[in-house]
Amino acid sequence: MAKPKLNYVSCPDAGAGHRMAYWEWGDPQASHIVLCVHGLSRQGRDFDVLAQALVARSNSPLRVVCPDVVGRGMSDWLADPQGYQLPQYAADMLALLAQLQPAALDWVGTSMGGLIGMGICGQPSLPLPVPVRRLVLNDVGPVVQWEALARIGSYLGRSVQFESVEQAANALWLVSASFGPHTAAQWLELSRHMVKPLADGSPGVALHYDPAIAVPFRAITQESATQGEALMWQLYDAITAKTLLLRGADSDLLSRATAQAMAERGPHAQLVEFAGVGHAPTLIAQDQIDAVATFLLG
């Protein structure tokens, strides 16, 4: 299997700053960039299959960039856990895009990555090199169902260790079955990048992310989540990018009612649903790849 190139960008924060890692596929000189941003507890290698498919299908030079959001993957961890929130994540993406300087820009955001995308695309005054041309929101919208947040909060931030990648893959499947059908090989490959060697050098692996990403997440209440919906709708309604909304038909995070409303207001997102999938499609199945590739590449 081909491998992406690992790069870094320096990002400011409330302390001394941090480095955010990002993975690059395709032509490193291409001026057309597809930025793929992962979910809350995930990392940029989630997009390996999609990135390679986009590069292979594109009729012109294309670069697919997949960051590890701060606190995840190969990126630094923050000294202050309160920084693990959307404003810092959006600021980091602006720093990344300032370094990349694309001439054409598309965005694929899964769950949290989609919320970051809404924040970026819904504020035209932000200093982007170019506006986002096409936006893919993967199983997320302005309204996030409270039950899904409670489910995610039940496992997020646990400091657990595993004897092997295979053991980690089995454990991850217990909290990720909603991702839909995967072969054993597909799931093992997805899980391989979700762990890293233990810091003390002893045998085994641990989850890739800083457990402290759970600190601000667990401070969210049902009331505060509801209050934030109005702002998210305001951002969504201000989006001018052509928008594709993907939804797992069994999603507990993005309701069908919210998805239908997103198709009828703001950028009037094109809605595509995937049967037998919950939150969130991993963009590995062929029909999911086809939907994204057709939308982005025509």
Residues 152-169 have pLDDT tens digits of: 988 898 888 999 999 999
Q: What is the Cα–Cα distance from 44 to 40, expressed in whole angstroms?
A: 11
pLDDT digits (tens, 9 = 90+) for 248-283: 999 999 999 999 999 999 999 999 999 999 999 999
Number of separate domains in the chain: 1
Establish if 172 belongs to a structural domain. Answer: no
Establish if 166 belongs to a structural domain. Answer: no
Predicted pLDDT of residue 283: 98
Tokens of 16: 């001394």
Q: What is the Cα–Cα distance from 4 to 212, expressed in whole angstroms?
A: 28
Predicted pLDDT of residue 1: 57
Number of helices followed by number of strands (H, E) in the chain: 10, 11
Establish if 96 belongs to a structural domain. Answer: yes
- Residue range 115-136: average pLDDT? 97
- Residue range 140-159: average pLDDT? 91
For Cα atoms 295, 149, 209, give the angle at the middle one, nearest 5 degrees: 80
Establish if 16 belongs to a structural domain. Answer: yes
**pLDDT at residue 12 tops 80:** yes
Establish if 200 belongs to a structural domain. Answer: no
Q: Whole-model pTM?
A: 0.96
The enclosing domain of 11 has a CATH number of 3.40.50.1820
Establish if 174 belongs to a structural domain. Answer: no
Q: What is the Cα–Cα distance from 68 to 175, expressed in whole angstroms?
A: 21
11's CB contacts (< 8 A; 6+ apart) are 17, 18, 19, 20, 70, 91, 92, 95, 96
Q: What is the Cα–Cα distance from 107 to 114, expressed in whole angstroms?
A: 9
- Residue range 138-153: average pLDDT? 93
- Residue range 32-46: average pLDDT? 98
Establish if 71 belongs to a structural domain. Answer: yes
Predicted pLDDT of residue 62: 98
274's CB contacts (< 8 A; 6+ apart) are 180, 246, 247, 248, 249, 281, 285, 287, 288
Q: Is 239:267 a contact under the CB 8 Å cutoff?
A: yes
- Residue range 98-103: average pLDDT? 97
Establish if 132 belongs to a structural domain. Answer: yes
Q: Identify the helix (H) or strand (E) that includes residue 188.
A: helix 184-192
Predicted pLDDT of residue 275: 97
Closest CA to 164 of 193, 203, 202, 194: 203
Judged by DSSP in three states, 53 sits in helix
Share of the chain above pLDDT 90, in %: 93
- Residue range 82-86: average pLDDT? 96
Query: Which domain range does residue 92 map to?
Result: 5-157+209-297
